[in-house]
């Protein structure tokens, strides 16, 4: 019913532009149409084009073919080449009766062909059909535009909700571990810097799409979320862990992975950013040579997301001050990262880091402890 109502409203307001070089024809067509539609006339193709270019946009155009100056074909071509007027239906009016003329007009985009002398009943019936068709098309176009807008709005809301969730979880971790601070923000930016740098590398290009890099940036803050399950006596210890405490701290990788996995199960859906966060949480302490934890994975068996985070996390730890150690300079931290090439870190990731290390230093300055 809504569509029908919209159609009636559109028809009631429909405007028609009549283009004919004959004053008699213009007068006749005006008399036929005036009781049903708003009618405007133009006595030449040039005049018709000026009207529409000055802002007059009719719902339908009745267009004579044979006119001095610009012919109806010329006017039709101009109107169909303009984004603003290309969807306005055009009905040709002509005394030409050869099929070739009719075929030419239809191929140029006209919707119909009415021969002169005009039969008022036939003309009104055809005009009504084409205006109804246009009203239906306009309604569907408006609906599609609305639906597109609504999808974009809801997608934006979902993205905002994701980001808000991540920030809340990161804030919860920060409330327990005061050393976390800007660590989350810095590592988030470090990971993106590395990903963008490696985006064209043959070994990384398939994975590091623009979309995946955005997911990495959003997921990275959850890499240490498992630390919320570490006892305060360990997490907040103002010094170096002993062997037992270190084993407890190492469990934050599996705790984080299981927590995100549980969240996925409760949601009943798999979301790309949660899958990525789960992958990073579990694997970001793995080492290239297999000496990391919790699974002792090595080389390319370690997910790319975790290889990026591994370097970002270590660099930030080296640059950060702790109770038991001072913050290192960028150059010293860079040297340690390079020493770990092929042992702790993926060699390609280290090479990417050394090509953009000054940007790492800038991020460290931008988000200090």
pLDDT in tens, 117-131: 889 999 999 999 999
pLDDT tens-digit series, residues 278-290: 999 999 999 999 9
C-alpha pair distances (Å), 265 with each of 30, 169, 172, 260, 262: 69, 18, 21, 9, 5
Beta-sheet strand order (sheet of 90-94):
38-42, 15-19, 60-64, 90-94, 112-115
CB 348 within 8 Å of CB 203? yes
pLDDT for res 188: 93
pLDDT for res 148: 63
pLDDT tens-digit series, residues 24-35: 999 999 999 999
What pTM does this model have? 0.56
Provide the pLDDT confidence category of residue 4 given band limits of 50, 70 and 90.
very low
Q: What is the CATH number of domain 2-139?
A: 3.40.50.2300
Q: What would the mean pLDDT of 249-276 be, rounded to a whole number?
A: 85
pLDDT for res 100: 62
pLDDT tens-digit series, residues 82-113: 989 999 999 998 876 666 667 787 888 899 98
Query: Does the pLDDT at position 9 exceed 50?
Result: no
Pick the CATH number of 155-366 from 1.20.140.10, 3.40.50.1950, 1.10.3210.10, 3.40.50.620: 1.10.3210.10
pLDDT tens-digit series, residues 50-92: 999 999 999 999 999 989 999 999 999 999 999 899 999 999 9
Provide the pLDDT confidence category of residue 297 given band limits of 50, 70 and 90.
very high
pLDDT for res 8: 40
To the nearest 10 degrees (0 to 180), the angle between helices 347-366 and 304-319 is 50
- The dihedral region occupied by 109, where left means phi > 0, alpha psi between -120 and 50, and beta the remainder, is left
Query: Does the pLDDT at position 302 exceed 50?
Result: yes
Query: Does the pLDDT at position 12 exceed 60?
Result: no
Which residues fall within 8 angstroms of residue 200, CB to CB, at 6 or more apart? none
Which residue spans of the chain are classified as CATH 3.40.50.2300? 2-139
Query: Does the pLDDT at position 364 exceed 80?
Result: yes
Average pLDDT, the chain: 86
Q: What would the mean pLDDT of 164-174 be, rounded to a whole number?
A: 56
pLDDT tens-digit series, residues 198-219: 999 999 999 999 999 999 998 8
C-alpha pair distances (Å), 347 with each of 4, 311, 352, 353, 354: 66, 11, 9, 10, 11
In degrees and rounded to multiples of 5, residue 207 shows phi and psi of -85, -40
Which residue spans of the chain are classified as CATH 1.10.3210.10? 155-366
Measured over the CA atoms of residue 68, residue 70, residue 72 and residue 74, the dihedral's sign is positive
Query: Does the pLDDT at position 2 exceed 90?
Result: no
Q: What would the mean pLDDT of 300-309 be, rounded to a whole number?
A: 97
- Hunting for tokens 């080389």 — which residue is that? 299
Provide the pLDDT confidence category of residue 185 given band limits of 50, 70 and 90.
confident
- The dihedral region occupied by 253, where left means phi > 0, alpha psi between -120 and 50, and beta the remainder, is alpha
Say how many Å lie between the first and final Cα of the chain, rounded. 62
Q: What is the DSSP string of 86-107?
A: TTS-EEEEES---HHHHHHHHH
Q: What would the mean pLDDT of 6-27 be, rounded to a whole number?
A: 77
Dist. CA 303–CA 297, nearest whole Å: 10
Alpha helices by DSSP H, 177-300: 183-198, 210-219, 232-235, 243-250, 252-267, 272-283
Helix (H) or strand (E) holding 139: helix 120-176
- Hunting for tokens 């993926």 — which residue is that? 346
């Amino acid at each position: 019913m809504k569509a029908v109502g919209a159609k009636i409203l559109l028809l009631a307001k429909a405007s028609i532009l009549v283009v004919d070089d004959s004053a008699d024809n213009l007068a006749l067509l005006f008399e036929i149409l005036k009781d049903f539609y708003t009618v405007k006339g133009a006595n030449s193709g040039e005049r018709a084009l000026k009207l529409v270019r000055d802002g007059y946009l009719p719902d339908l155009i009745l267009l004579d073919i044979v006119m001095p100056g610009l012919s109806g074909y010329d006017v039709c071509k101009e109107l169909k080449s303009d984004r603003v007027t290309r969807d306005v239906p055009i009905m040709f009016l002509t005394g030409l009766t050869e099929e070739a003329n009719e075929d030419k007009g239809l191929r140029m985009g006209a919707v119909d062909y009415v021969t002169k002398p005009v039969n008022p009943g036939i003309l009104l019936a055809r005009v009504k059909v084409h205006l109804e068709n246009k009203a239906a098309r306009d309604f569907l176009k408006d609906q599609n535009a609305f639906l597109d807008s609504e999808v974009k709005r809801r997608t934006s809301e979902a993205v905002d909700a994701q980001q808000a969730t991540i920030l809340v979880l990161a804030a919860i971790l920060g409330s327990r571990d005061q050393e976390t601070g800007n660590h989350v923000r810095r590592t988030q930016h470090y990971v993106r810097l590395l990903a963008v740098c490696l985006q064209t590398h043959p070994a990384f290009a398939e994975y590091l799409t623009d979309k995946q890099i955005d997911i990495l940036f959003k997921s990275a803050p959850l890499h240490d979320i498992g630390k919320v399950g570490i006892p305060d006596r360990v997490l907040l210890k103002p010094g170096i862990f002993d062997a037992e405490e270190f084993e407890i701290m190492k469990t934050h990788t599996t705790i984080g992975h299981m927590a995100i996995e549980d969240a996925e199960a409760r949601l009943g859906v798999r979301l790309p950013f949660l899958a990525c966060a789960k992958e990073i949480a579990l694997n970001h302490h793995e080492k290239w040579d297999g000496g990391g934890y919790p699974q002792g994975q090595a080389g390319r068996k370690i997910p790319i997301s975790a290889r990026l985070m591994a370097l970002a996390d270590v660099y930030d730890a080296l640059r950060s001050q702790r109770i038991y150690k001072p913050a290192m300079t960028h150059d010293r931290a860079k040297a340690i990262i390079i020493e770990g090439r092929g042992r702790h870190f993926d060699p390609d990731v280290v090479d990417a880091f050394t090509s953009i290390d000054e940007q790492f230093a800038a991020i460290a300055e931008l988000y200090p402890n």
